[in-house]
Amino acid sequence: MSALLVPGHDVRGATPIGGRPGSVGLSLERLTLSLDGRTILDGVDLEVAPGRITGLAGESGSGKTLTGMSIMGLPPERSALGGAIHYRGSNLLELGGRQRNALRGREIAMVFQDPAASLHPMMSIGTQLTDHVRHHLGLSKKTARDRLVGLLGEVRVPDPAGAMRKYPHQFSGGQLQRIAIAGAIACEPHVLVADEPTTALDVTVQAGILHLLRNLCDDRGLTIILITHDLGVMSALADTIAVMRYGKVVEVGDRADVIQRPAHSYTRSLIDALPDRVGAARTFAMEAE
Ligand SMILES: Nc1ncnc2c1ncn2[C@@H]1O[C@H](COP(=O)(O)OP(=O)(O)OP(=O)(O)O)[C@@H](O)[C@H]1O
Ligand SMILES: [Mg+2]
């Protein structure tokens, strides 16, 4: 249990409407980030419902990744953060370095756009993934290894035991993304930030990763923040969609509402720019409902 969890404490943002009991959400309140005097996040307000997939959409440079990095406690050097990230009764921005480090990768994890970048090229998959789990959970080498082999199987990496002995260059992009996701969920985080998890992958591989994320949310109650500029991916997967522009959330709502009845002209322009893909995704979304 986290040292931050205070029984009976008023947990702001942990149970927004539509969330799933037993899962943990978070909320951003007027989150700001400035870098070298430039305002990059300009007061981001966002409720991330527990056990649901909250999508962050928006054009390149709108601040999606830096929102995710701020939640992870990894803002760029020299940047200044303001506002609040409410999580289990604490404002993450007020935590000390040790408390923050204890959460990162353990309770709040992230998968990055380029899976190869999050894996060390010179270390076997088994070594790097088990080191991470042993560090956070204090497990024996064998227990950590068994857990990882099970997880690699769960995310459908072929021959999980053999995969532990291999190195990143021996896998395809889609397999590496599955491995990165297994690594990210190995410590059973409450929240997973997935930054463009399928952008580097070809379309057929994308669908498998999207289903994997959906299943992790539905089966494990994982709270997912899905960052993507691709509204097609977004509308196929997210329960709630938030649209960012110039460092602010300009529209947020239920997936079907945002895609079918966008309130903001900027959201409409994003949807109009992708007629075929979103048309297909709308069909997918409606079939799934
Ligand atoms: N490490 C950094 N140092 C300096 N500026 C940065 C850094 N990371 C991002 N920025 C700037 O902050 C702004 C927001 O960047 P961010 O990466 O959050 O955008 P994004 O919405 O994720 O875009 P994309 O869709 O291209 O990934 C951009 O103007 C970007 O140039
Ligand atoms: Mg980005």
Q: How far apart are CA 146 and CA 156, in angstroms?
A: 15
Q: Is the CB of 64 under 6 A from ligand 1?
A: yes
Put the strands of the sheet holding 38-48 in their side by side order. 38-48, 26-35, 79-87, 90-91
Give the ligand whose atoms come closest to the C-alpha of residue 59. Answer: 1
Q: Is the CB of 189 under 6 A from ligand 1?
A: no
Between the alpha carbon of residue 129 and those of residues 90, 113, 139, the distances in Å are: 29, 18, 12
> What distance in angstroms lies between residue 60's CA and the mean position of ligand 2's atoms?
7
> What distance in angstroms lies between residue 58's CA and the mean position of ligand 2's atoms?
9
> What distance in angstroms lies between residue 72's CA and the mean position of ligand 2's atoms?
14
Mutational test site, ligand 1, from 31, 56, 64, max ligand atoms within 8 Å of CB: 64
In this structure, what token pair is assigned to residue 120? 């060390």
Nearest CA to 230 out of 195, 263, 256, 204 is that of 195
User: Using CA positions, which residue lies closest to atom 13 of ligand 1?
Assistant: 61
Residue-level pLDDT, tens digit, the chain, 289 residues: 333 332 322 333 334 456 788 899 999 999 999 999 999 999 999 999 999 999 999 989 999 999 999 999 999 999 999 999 999 999 999 999 999 999 999 999 999 888 877 899 999 999 999 998 998 899 999 999 999 999 999 888 999 999 999 999 999 989 999 999 999 999 999 999 999 998 878 877 888 889 999 999 999 999 999 999 888 888 889 999 999 999 999 999 999 899 888 989 988 888 887 656 555 554 445 444 4
User: Using CA positions, which residue lies closest to atom 6 of ligand 1?
Assistant: 76
Q: What is the pLDDT of residue 276?
A: 60
Q: Is the CB of 89 under 6 A from ligand 1?
A: no
Q: Tell me the CATH number for domain 1-107+187-289.
A: 3.40.50.300
Q: Is the CB of 44 under 6 A from ligand 1?
A: no
Q: What is the pLDDT of residue 22?
A: 86
The residue extents of the domains of the chain are: 1-107+187-289, 123-186
What's this model's pTM, rounded to 2 decimal places?
0.88
Cα torsion angle, 122, 127, 129, 132, sign: negative
Q: Is the CB of 66 under 6 A from ligand 1?
A: yes
> What distance in angstroms lies between residue 150's CA and the mean position of ligand 2's atoms?
31
Question: Residues with Cβ < 8 Å from 150, sequence gap 6 or more?
Answer: 160
Q: What is the pLDDT of residue 199?
A: 83
Give the ligand whose atoms come closest to the C-alpha of residue 62. Answer: 1
> What distance in angstroms lies between residue 63's CA and the mean position of ligand 1's atoms?
6
In this structure, what token pair is assigned to residue 115? 């899976």
